[in-house]
Structure 1
Amino acid sequence: MCSNYDACTSTERLRLHFGVELPAGVNLRKDVWPAYQAPFVRRHPNADVGDDAVPPRESLVGLFGMVPHWSGDVAFGRRTYNARSETVAEKPSFRDAWRNGQHCIVPVEAIYEPDWRSGSAVPTRIQRKDGHPIGIAGLWTSNRKATGEELLSFTMLTINADDHELFKHFHKPQDEKRMVVILHEHQYDEWLKAPAAKSMDFMRQYPAHLLISTPDPDRGKKKR
């Protein structure tokens, strides 16, 4: 599971690795926790009109933690920042976005997980070994009930990682091991365009040898 990450907010890196730019005038913090504002990438709603001036993807800003259309509470997103692939189609918080194929990519520089191998939780930074940002498969939604205006929010999809060479080391020994769904670059447009019936095809583990982890014991001491 992932509740804390460093967002990819660099204009240059978003353009180079995701083909998008942040909306004008947006000022975002890099350190993201549930209910914080952060960027996500989705397929442009007019991408299929045949106009070369319309980009295939767009970057928007939303809350990390899904606030479903029927919820009147923005704080709802504090417990819906991750969606289990095994139950996402049935859970009321996520099922509409899943069934409607509201796919997005969460652009991330690194995620943080607790390593319990020493007997206590050591915050650990996980990033791509090649230095490129991580594209995490997610779902997005729109809500007007919570604030009276359009509120965008998103969640990260997760899968079992009991046998993953890296992610099996995180969280308490008795807990199920989970990991976010990290996409390969060639899958970005495939994921954003995929119909709901094909969503499960992307729920796969990312190879451990393409990732690197670094202990960051001071992470939990930083002010949110």
Structure 2
Amino acid sequence: MCTNYRAPDEDPGLSELKIGLGDLWREKPWEREIYTDYLAPIVRLNEGRPEALLANFGFWPKALQRDARDRAKEEGKKVPLIRDTVNSRAERIGESPLYGPSWRAGRRCLIPASWFYEPKYTPDDRTNERWRIGLATGEPCAIAGIWRTIQASGGQVMHAMSMITVNADEHPLLREFHRNRDARTGAPEEKRSVVIIRQGAYDDWLRCPTAEEARSFFTLLSEQELHAEAAPREKKTEN
């Protein structure tokens, strides 16, 4: 899972990815630290050619979810819960009412990241520390995602994206993150991680002819290909 990551924002990070983000950065610079509902760069196919654009981190922006709740209340319908849509589970992505249409339509994207953050808990789950995970080479990477175009309040058209995640229970490094046990039941907590697309496979991921074939990309990099280190949040200082 990933709800916070660092987006590459200047050279050499942008050029190392070799997916043409420089012009977009100079035109519409984004925040370095990306959280839910922040705009962040993605690369998708547009009429057969790679295109860089900004998309909302979250497939269903929270503001639109709140609008849907308000409409449901006014119409006397069941009020939906607010959902976290920054991650989509690979196992159910094709059948999901929310993610399925985009997945089946081949709306896959690359989500550039210098690294992503995950919480590392103590064995008793009482405290955790933020860690960052990235490539062992120190270069930026591209995370597998899906995207869609949606209409926001007032008729504004916007793009939205979600990172695809897979099970990481058996991964020597990635299983070290997130809670160890469910806070309510005490059962072991499933460990999950985002999928990093290898640089030589960017085009193959975007152009994969079928959704079923695209599932072949749902693998995790080896422990040796990754680097993780503590990355505590900076404490605010009072003037």
- How far apart are the structure 2 equivalents of 1:147 and 1:11? 36
Partner of 2:38: 36
TM-score (normalised: structure 2): 0.81
Partner of 1:46: 47
- How far apart are the structure 1 equivalents of 2:6 and 2:232? 16
1:193 to 203, 207, 211: 207
Partner of 1:52: none
- How far apart are the structure 2 equivalents of 1:222 and 1:93? 38
1:110 to 93, 115, 130: 115
Residues 123 and 180 in structure 2, CA contact (< 8 A), matched pair in contact too: no
**Aligned positions of 1:121-132 closer than 5 A:** 121-132=128-139
Partner of 2:97: 92
Which stretches in structure 1 are left out of the alignment for 5+ residues?
Answer: 48-55
TM-score (normalised: structure 1): 0.86
Moved more, 13-22 or 130-139: 13-22
1:168 to 155, 172, 175: 175
Identity %: 31
Alignment RMSD (CA, Å): 2.3
- CA deviation after TM superposition for structure 1 residue 144, in Å: 1.6
- CA deviation after TM superposition for structure 1 residue 145, in Å: 4.6
Residues 34 and 65 in structure 1, CA contact (< 8 A), matched pair in contact too: yes
Residue type of the partner of 2:106? G
- CA deviation after TM superposition for structure 1 residue 19, in Å: 2.3
Q: Mark the CA change 1:147 to 1:160 in structure 2 (over 3 Å): closer, same or farther.
A: farther
Partner of 1:203: 218
Q: Mark the CA change 1:7 to 1:85 in structure 2 (over 3 Å): closer, same or farther.
A: same
1:62 aligns to 2:55 (yes or no): yes
Matched pairs, number: 211
- How far apart are the structure 2 equivalents of 1:80 and 1:42? 19
1:14 aligns to 2:14 (yes or no): yes
- How far apart are the structure 1 equivalents of 2:4 and 2:59? 15
Larger Cα Rg: Structure 1 or Structure 2? 2
Residues 127 and 211 in structure 1, CA contact (< 8 A), matched pair in contact too: yes
- How far apart are the structure 2 equivalents of 1:208 and 1:218? 24
1:156-179 deviation per Cα after TM superposition (whole angstroms, max 9, x unaligned): 000000000111000111210001
| Secondary structure at 2:36 match in 1 | coil
Residue type of the partner of 1:73? L
Partner of 1:82: 87
- How far apart are the structure 2 equivalents of 1:101 and 1:212? 31
1:84-107 deviation per Cα after TM superposition (whole angstroms, max 9, x unaligned): 001111221101110101000000
1:133 aligns to 2:140 (yes or no): yes
Q: Mark the CA change 1:200 to 1:79 in structure 2 (over 3 Å): closer, same or farther.
A: same
1:149 to 149, 156, 168: 156
- CA deviation after TM superposition for structure 1 residue 11, in Å: 5.1
**More helix per residue: 1 or 2?**
2
Residues 83 and 158 in structure 1, CA contact (< 8 A), matched pair in contact too: yes
- How far apart are the structure 1 equivalents of 2:155 and 2:194? 32
- CA deviation after TM superposition for structure 1 residue 146, in Å: 3.9
Which contiguous aligned blocks of 4+ residues in structure 1 show a shift greater than 4 angstroms? 74-78
Q: Mark the CA change 1:183 to 1:79 in structure 2 (over 3 Å): closer, same or farther.
A: same
1:177 aligns to 2:178 (yes or no): no
- CA deviation after TM superposition for structure 1 residue 147, in Å: 4.3
